[in-house]
Amino acid sequence: MKHTYFVILVSAFLSCKNDPKSTSETVKDTQPEMTDVLKDSLIYPGEKHFKSIRQVTFGGDNAEAYWSFDDKQLVFQSNNKAWNVGCDQMFLMNADETFKGNMPPMVSTGNGRTTCAYFLPDNKHIIYASTHLKQDECPETPLRKNGKYIWPIYDSYDIFVADLEGNIVKQLTNEEGYDAEPTVSPKGDKIVFTSTRSGDLELYTMNIDGSDVKQITNELGYDGGAFFSPDGTKLIFRSSRPKTEQEIKEYKDLLAEGLVEPTEMELYICNADGSDLRQLTDLGNANWSPFFHPSGKKVLFSSNFEAERGFPFNLYLIDIDGKNLERVTHSETFDAFPVFSNDGKYLAFSSNRNNGGGRDTNLFIAEWQD
């Protein structure tokens, strides 16, 4: 999921858990063995895929850290007030840096709200969505309506290309409505993004220069947070697709106000041109922020489907045929936004671990082992 109202999202899911969908798969490794030896205080018992782990940020809400194509840098978003921002802006870091008492360079304008930065193949430019053309100030962020958790879908978002000094060099979208959530194919040829240009929240692809825009999904519901497979042939994304008349009415009414309700989401997978679309998970609650495993045969994602009262959110692996569901993290609060480095050796993710019991969500980089 490519929105960063993620800290509030943890508390927002405190309502009673919905009945889980039936599944033929038993989650592997759901209970960590007490005999596990903690080799690193930031690694919880049972987190066998983490060989080591390093905390990158220390304060504020930090998420969606994406690697450069050469794995030397990452770009991420933060609302850390100590960094003189009022809402999410984009920051650049070297892969070996940490920020405890120091501040990374900001590579967005500092105006409006930004979301979802991603490196372009030249490692010298990034793309990201921003509202700065329509407002200098941070737009309002409604998070509750009629007792339900909601996200705002800002019509003022457009997608821009910037250099690593923060200079905008090109605007890629100029349509009415929401254009955001862009990510780039590992092949370096395509961008996938979410847009309301059709009247619904659908996925689109375009070339790196913004040309040849093609609609990928065409079914009622919020399709977003899409990523390409390592070979660029597939897309994984999360969707909240209303089915009943009441669900459809509620979805359309909210969307007319520029809002969505993200509490029920499942993962979908399709070819990069939108063909062979199928639902990957049927777990109930919120299944989101998916990212392909380096093999291309599995997907890592965040979910609260096992939670009794809406949290915690943990990371899970699942085969692309929907089998072999495995729990990866064992948090009591929130783990999400997993992103593998291009060489497959490291995983960047966001977590509430080691935040002193507060609400800070920080970036972590783990050394991955299968």
- What range does the domain containing 364 cover? 6-368
Q: Dihedral of CA 165/170/173/174: which sign?
A: positive
Kindly tell me the burial class for residue 275, based on how many C-beta atoms sit within 10 Å of its own C-beta (0-12, 13-18, 19 or more): exposed
User: Does the residue 69 lie in any domain?
Assistant: yes
pTM score = 0.92
Kindly tell me the burial class for residue 33, based on how many C-beta atoms sit within 10 Å of its own C-beta (0-12, 13-18, 19 or more): exposed
User: Does the residue 95 lie in any domain?
Assistant: yes
Tens-digit pLDDT profile for residues 121-140: 999 999 999 999 999 999 98
- Check residue 26 and report its DSSP letter: P
User: Does the residue 119 lie in any domain?
Assistant: yes
Q: What pLDDT is stored for residue 239 in this prediction?
A: 97
User: Does the residue 1 lie in any domain?
Assistant: no
Are the beta carbons of 365 and 338 closer than 8 angstroms?
no
User: Does the residue 182 lie in any domain?
Assistant: yes
User: Does the residue 92 lie in any domain?
Assistant: yes
98: domain CATH number is: 2.120.10.30
For the chain, how many structural domains are there in total? 1
User: Does the residue 299 lie in any domain?
Assistant: yes
Tens-digit pLDDT profile for residues 83-95: 999 999 999 999 9
Indicate if the pLDDT at residue 35 is higher than 80. Answer: no
Indicate if the pLDDT at residue 1 is higher than 50. Answer: no
Alpha-carbon distances, residue 303 vs 9, 227, 329 (angstroms): 12, 17, 11
| Average pLDDT of every residue of the chain | 90
Bond prior to 338 in cis (omega within 30° of 0) = no
User: Does the residue 213 lie in any domain?
Assistant: yes
